[in-house]
Every structure is written in C-alpha cells, then in structure tokens.
A and B are shown apart, each in its own frame.
Chain A
Amino acid sequence: MKATEAFLPWLDFDIDGFVSRVTEKDVERVLEKEVLGYQDFLCLLSPVASRFLEKMAICSQQLTAKHFGRAILLFAPLYLADYCQNACVYCGFRVMNRFPRKKLSLEEIQRNGEILAEKGFRHILLLTGDAPAVTPVSYLEEAMSILSPMFDSLAVEVYPMTVEEYQKLRLVGLDGLTIYQETYDRKVYAEVHPSGPKRDFFWRLGTPERGAQAGLRWVTIGALYGLANPLHDAFWTAMHLMTLKKYYPEVEWGVSLPRMNPAEGDFVQKYNLPDKQFVQFLLAFRIFFPTVGITLSTRERPEMRDILIPLGVTKVSAESHTEVGGYAEHQEQVPQFEVADKRSVEEIKSVISSKGFDPVFKDWVRMA
C-alpha cells in the first residue's frame, strides 16, 4: 500500500498555520503558474483566494476545455439495497434507523436496469449500504452479470473490498469505483462513525488504492463536506489524490465534492460549506488537477448545478433516486439522502446543451 503510506504524513501538516500566512500576492502568483505544488493549492483554498473567484473560474474553464473539451458525461446511481451495519450519524441508512429494509431481487435489478437504459443511460453506479452478510460480493456479481449487457460501464459505491474481490467483480464488468473517506479528520471520523466496521479509518483510506491495484479503470474519491473543517478535508482529499495519481498514473482518477444534505434522523452539522466557498474549492481542484474528472451529484440544487456545469465539472448524475429500486416503482423506501435536483434526464440534457456543452451518455468500451 505505497500510496496510502505516502499520504499519511499529510495528515499532520499544519494547514491552518500555512493558510494564515497566504497573501493576495501569493494567490496572484499561483494563478500565473503552469504547474502547481501543494502550497499553491492551499493558496487557492485559502480565504484570501475567495477575492479571486472570477479569475479562478476563467482559469478553470480554460483548463477543462483543454483537457476534456465540451463534453459532460451523464450517469445514474442505482441503489440495490439499504441494509447497513454501520451507525454513520449523518446517513438515513444507519443501522439504528427503523424502517423496512429492502434488497432488490434479481428480477427487480433487471427491471430497474431496463428503465435506466431506456432513459438513455450507458454508465451506472451501483450502491448498497455496508452489509456484506446481506449483499455479499456474490450478490454484486450476480447483479453485474445482469446489468453489464445493458450498459457500457458499471461502477460501485459499496463497502470497501479487498483487491481480490474487486478483481472478481472486474470479470463481470466492473470498471470503476467511487469511495468517499467522508472525512480525513481522524477525531471527527471516530465521532461520526460510532459503531460498525466503518470505524476502521485506515481500511477505508486504502480502498482507492486497492481498486487501482485490482486494475479498475477509474476511481473517484472525496470527502463529505459538512462533517469536519471543509478546508482541511479539501486539502487532505487533494493530497490523497496526488499520491494515488503518482503511484497509479494509468487510472482515470476523479474527485467529487458532495455537501451534506438532510438525511433521516437528527444529525446537526457543526460545519457547513457555503456556496461561495464550495465553488472556490471546486475551481481550486480543477486548477490543481487539470486532468482529473470532477463529478457533481444531485445533492446540489438545480441553480447550483447549472452554474457549475461550465466551470470545470466533467460528470454529472441525473434523475437520481437514492432509495432502493426507486426507478421501477414509487415505493415508500427511505432515501439515503435528499436529492436536491429532481429534474428529468431530458431537462438536464437540455441545460447542458444550452450552456454549450455536449451531454454524453457513453464514454467507454468494455474490455472485460
């Protein structure tokens, strides 16, 4: 686990000390540079840089056009099950929430898949809670065998697995992996994950690297903004990505910046990431990582998504249902979190086109 080990020292970096010394001149200098170092990225995250948003946006737009052109990939999440053994305090699926849990049968998977394919999706992301006893790797294997003929790319956002398990799933069509560390702040991590296997910070931290070692084509990482100090989490996410990129240059690395939305329960956020700072962070990521994909989820409000589409985003989810089997029937299942952008895929497509971008559904040829 070379990349994970190389990342660890960053967890002790004095972020606040550095940021407190950043001046306007520093930010100006960074925006003139071609290749940025970690100090430059921190300058762009700093409160001082919020005075340069316009300049950062232009820079971000230009870099994105250069490396990704004017195409935006659309994908849809498909929740297979909401069983979970963890107690993440911010999530609707946590173990102590009492509601009738559900796991899609193979027929239901087929049906939901058909509906998504009918809407035009060619890339999908499969999600479950963390309950390998109910949704073991063999279940995911079966689900993928059903879905892979219908789609060009399958990715998972499920419990962390071993290299061998990812390899097994690759054989039935798995291309990509999304895994959020949630927060890189070890103290907060322990607080918001009071019980269950997710308490193991380091096992989760090594997940993207295990995915890369298993030969997955693309891996997206991120923090969930709202749990801990957003500036710290943004910095650590970037350093994590930087080390992963260095050791696994063949992987298409991606990042997402989900902000917390209300979930079932009573979690009170200590932190939040205001819109302006959120945009600043997204631009900073683009400028620091010109070739990394940036995903935007339906957690964001329509107005926000519309603003962000031309600024550096490369992948967006659309018409998402975050409750199990939400596409086939309107059931009473509990959603994992509130979807803020409920527009149809056709509406999202026309927004993307109206901004001068091409909504793309297929960007993959399956090799497995």
Chain B
Amino acid sequence: MDSPLVIGNREFSCRLFVGTGKLPSSRLLPEIVKASGTQMITVALRRVNLSRPEENILSYIPEGVVVLPNTSGARNAEEAVRISRLAREAGCGNFVKIEIIHEMDYLMPDNEETIKATAILAKEGFVVLPYVMPDLIVAQKLVDAGAAAVMPLGSPIGSHRGLRTRDLIAMLIEKIDLPIVVDAGIGKPSHAAEAMEMGADAVLVNTAIATSVDPVAAARAFSLAVEAGRISYLTQKQQETLYAQASSPLSGLLSEEKL
C-alpha cells in the first residue's frame, strides 16, 4: 500500500500534475481531470482573466483540485514574489510554482533568483514549489529556504526529450527530504514512468498532454504510466527491504552461534 504524497498540508493520491498553458481549450479541463484523476493543476497567472468568467481558466478547474499558479513572466525574485502575491489575491490559494526565466529560447530557470523568491514566499506562508535546473546544492538551499517540494527539469520545457538530467535528478531523490516533482521535458508516458520508477514523487506534464491530438486520452495514458512507474518503484523498494530482512536473522544466528 502506497501512502499519499503530502505537499504543504494537502494529500495527493494521484501523482500526475497537469499543466494548462498550452491547451486548445480550458473547457477540456474537467474531462482531463476525470480521465487522469489529477489533483493538482498548474495555471499561469498571466493567463488568469478574472474579467470574464467564460475566459477565466479557474472556472473550469473542478472543485477539490489544487490550483498551482506559476510565476511565468517573472525575470527575477522580486517579480516572482509580486506575481505570487497577486495570485493569492486573485483567489488561487497559497500554492505557488516559482518559475523565473530570462532567456526565451530554452526557458532555463534562474536557480539563484529562485532560491531568493522561495525564502521570501515561504516566510509569507506560501506553499512554494520551485522549478529548477537540478542541482543538489541548490536543492539543499531550497530546503533551507522553506520550499515545500522541488521541481527539477527533465529537459527544457516543451522539448519532449525525457530525462536528460536523470543522474542529477537521482541525486535529489536520494538526498533531499522533500517531494521531488519532475517538471518539463516529459514528452511520452514512458518518460513519466521512468521518472516515477527511479523514485520521483510526482511528475508534471503540460505540452505532451495539451498538444496531443486527444488531450483527454493522453491524460489517461500519462496517469497510467505514472501509476505503473510508482508501483514499480515501490516493489523494487520492497525487494530491497526483503533482502535486508532475510539477512538479518542469519547474522543474528551467526552471532548467537558465536556465543
């Protein structure tokens, strides 16, 4: 039996988070949620249009699903902090994904500014999920800054290249005592399964679902892959424990013999 993933004060039984920025229509969201079982949906605050309900993406997110606004458009910590506060005022709750970018081709995150923003926002009571280039030292600093999870990129946003940063993510999984959510670069369900199988706590998928010919079916495929990857990870883990337990009675026996 798996225990739920806890981020902030919320429990998630589904470990697939879904991005919305590239969808053909917000109207698909309820169906995507149904097909995938996702309980966390990211929304770019720059897209949240409160002036018209039919154009406001928030009105399509089903009740009970956590909204994770992101700070897309921010180029430094100060702007990310400002956008996060606006998101909270706009009724998006206190979860926030920090995304600080000032290079428009690969959209690589600025880790340094991200640490700064995380520290400020965590102090203000936000549940902060920073999007970073995977780096163990940066992740440790994020823990100190009060992050609620760490979101390392698998490969550049929208690249669909899978886990090109696999070895770096593995270090975070091993050493960081926070949920690790692999974000960006997951282009196929098999990539998602791979991330989960290596021990990531969740994955965030955006482009691959949104630009699929059938986003609802794609959401389901990713959800199944995430689940399969998770079960695989858990069973591998159990096997490890099994071996460890089997050896201990024997060693006990040996030591008894010695007595």
Task: Please provide the chain A residues from 71 to 85 with a CB less than 8 Å away from any CB of chain B in the complex.
Answer: 71
Residues of A within 8 A of B62 (CB): none
Interface centre among B46, B159, B210 (most CB of A within 10 A): B46
Interface centre among B23, B103, B206 (most CB of A within 10 A): B23
Residue of A nearest to B159 (CB): A66
CA distance A253 to B23 in the complex (A): 22
Contact of A365 (CB < 8 Å), options: B45, B51, B104, B206: B45
B:186-238 near A, CB below 8 Å: 206-207, 210-211
Residues 326 to 368 of chain A near chain B (Cβ within 8 Å): 353, 356-358, 360-365, 367
Query: Given A70-B22, A250-B102, A367 and B82 touching (CB < 8 A)?
Result: yes
Q: Does A69 belong to the interface (CB within 8 Å)?
A: yes
Complex Cα distance, B170 from A16, in Å, reads 52
Q: Which residue of A lies closest to B212 (CB)?
A: A65
Question: What separation, in Å, do the CA atoms of A152 and B50 have in the docked complex?
Answer: 11
Contacts of B207 in A (CB 8 A): 65-66, 69
A251 within 8 A of B: yes
Query: Quick one: which of A69, A217, A252, A353 contacts B210, CB cutoff 8 A?
Result: A69
Q: How far, in Å, is B154 (CB) from chain A's closest CB?
A: 15
Q: Hey, which chain B residues are within 8 Å of A67, CB to CB?
A: 158
B47 and A362 contact, CB distance less than 8 A: yes
B86 closest partner in A (C-beta): A365
Across-interface contacts of A356 in B (CB, < 8 A): 24
Write the chain A residue with the least CB distance to B52.
Answer: A120
Name the residue on B nearest A66 (C-beta).
B158
Report Cα–Cα, A252/B47, bound state, in Å.
16
In the assembled complex, the Cα of A117 lies from the Cα of B45 at a distance in Å of 19
Contact with A357, one of B24, B46, B51, B73 (Cβ below 8 angstroms)? B24
Bitwise, A190-211 to B at CB < 8 A (1) or not (0) is: 0000000000000000000000
Number of A-B contacts (CB under 8 A): 78
Looking at the assembled complex, report how far the CB atom of B105 sits from the nearest CB atom of chain A, in whole angstroms.
5
Q: Is the CB of A353 within 8 A of B25?
A: yes
B176 close to chain A: CB less than 8 A: no
- Nearest-Cβ distance from residue B47 to partner chain A, whole angstroms: 6
Measured between beta carbons, the chain A residues less than 8 angstroms from B160 are 66
In the complex, chain A residues 91-120 whose Cβ is within 8 Å of any chain B Cβ: 117, 120
CA distance A272 to B147 in the complex (A): 57
Contact A66 B86 (CB under 8 A): no
Smallest CB–CB gap between B259 and chain A, Å?
67
| Distance (whole angstroms) from the CB of B258 to the closest CB of chain A | 64
Which residues of chain A are near B25, meaning CB under 8 Å?
Answer: 70, 353, 358
Question: Could you tell me the distance between the alpha carbons of A252 and B102 in the complex, rounded to whole angstroms?
Answer: 9
Interface SS, B side: loop
Q: Report the count of interface residues on A (CB-CB < 8 A).
A: 30
Bound complex: CA A154 to CA B48 (Å): 17
Whether A291 is near chain B, meaning CB under 8 Å from some CB there, is: yes
A138–B48 Cα gap in the complex (Å)? 32
With contacts A120-B55, A362-B46, A365-B86 known, is A66 near B211, CB below 8 A?
A: yes
Taking CB atoms and an 8 Å cut-off, the chain A residues in 234-270 that contact chain B are: 245, 249-253
Q: Is A122 located at the chain interface by the 8 A CB criterion?
A: yes
CA of A150 to CA of B103, assembled, Å = 29
Residues of A within 8 A of B158 (CB): 66-67
**Distance between Cα atoms of A209 and B77 in the complex (Å):** 25
Asked if B55 and A361 make an inter-chain contact with CB atoms under 8 angstroms apart, the answer reads yes
Known: A365-B83, A365-B86. A69 touches B104 (CB 8 A): no
Which residues of the partner chain A approach B82 to less than 8 Å between Cβ atoms?
367
- Measured in the bound complex, the distance between the Cα atoms of B51 and A122 in whole Å is 9
Would you call A52 an interface residue if the criterion is a C-beta within 8 Å of the partner chain's C-beta atoms?
A: no
Q: Which of A66, A358, A360, A361 has the most CB of B within 10 A?
A: A358
Find out whether the CB atom of B104 lies under 8 angstroms from the CB atom of A291: yes
B165 within 8 A of A: no
Is B113's beta carbon under 8 Å from chain A? Answer: no
Cα distance, A173 to B24, chains bound together (Å): 30
In the assembled complex, how far is the CB of residue A147 from the closest CB belonging to chain B, in whole angstroms? 15
Chain A, range 24-71, C-beta contacts under 8 Å to B? 65-71
Establish whether residues B46 and A249, one from each chain, have CB atoms under 8 Å apart when the complex forms.
no
A358 and B79: CB pair below 8 A? no
Residues in A with CB closer than 8 Å to B26 are 358
Asked whether B46 lies within 8 Å of A70 as measured between CB atoms, the reply is no
What is the minimal beta-carbon distance from B103 to any residue of chain A, in angstroms?
Answer: 5
Which of A69, A245, A353, A356 gathers the greatest number of chain B CB atoms within 10 Å? A69
* Interfacial chain B residues near A152, Cβ < 8 Å: 46
Nearest-CB residue, chain B, relative to A292: B104
Taking CB atoms, residues of chain A closer than 8 Å to B210 are: 69-70
CA distance A57 to B212 in the complex (A): 17
B21 at the interface (CB under 8 A from A): yes
Which residues of chain A are within 8 angstroms of B239 by Cβ–Cβ distance? none
Q: Are A71 and B83 in contact (CB under 8 A)?
A: no
Q: Are A358 and B103 in contact (CB under 8 A)?
A: no
Known interface pairs A66-B211, A152-B46; 12 further A-B residue pairs with C-beta atoms within 8 A, sorted by A's residue number:
A65-B211, A68-B22, A70-B23, A71-B21, A117-B51, A217-B73, A245-B104, A250-B75, A250-B103, A360-B47, A362-B49, A365-B46
Give me the 6 closest cross-chain CB pairs, A-B, nearest first.
Answer: A69-B22, A70-B24, A65-B211, A362-B49, A250-B102, A66-B158
Q: Which residue numbers of B lie inside 8 Å of A, CB to CB?
A: 21-26, 45-49, 51-52, 55, 73, 75, 79, 82-83, 86, 102-105, 158-160, 206-207, 210-211
A-B contact pairs, 22 of them (CB 8 A): A66-B158, A66-B159, A66-B160, A68-B22, A69-B23, A69-B206, A69-B210, A71-B22, A152-B46, A245-B104, A245-B105, A249-B102, A249-B104, A250-B75, A250-B102, A250-B103, A291-B105, A353-B25, A358-B26, A361-B55, A365-B83, A367-B73
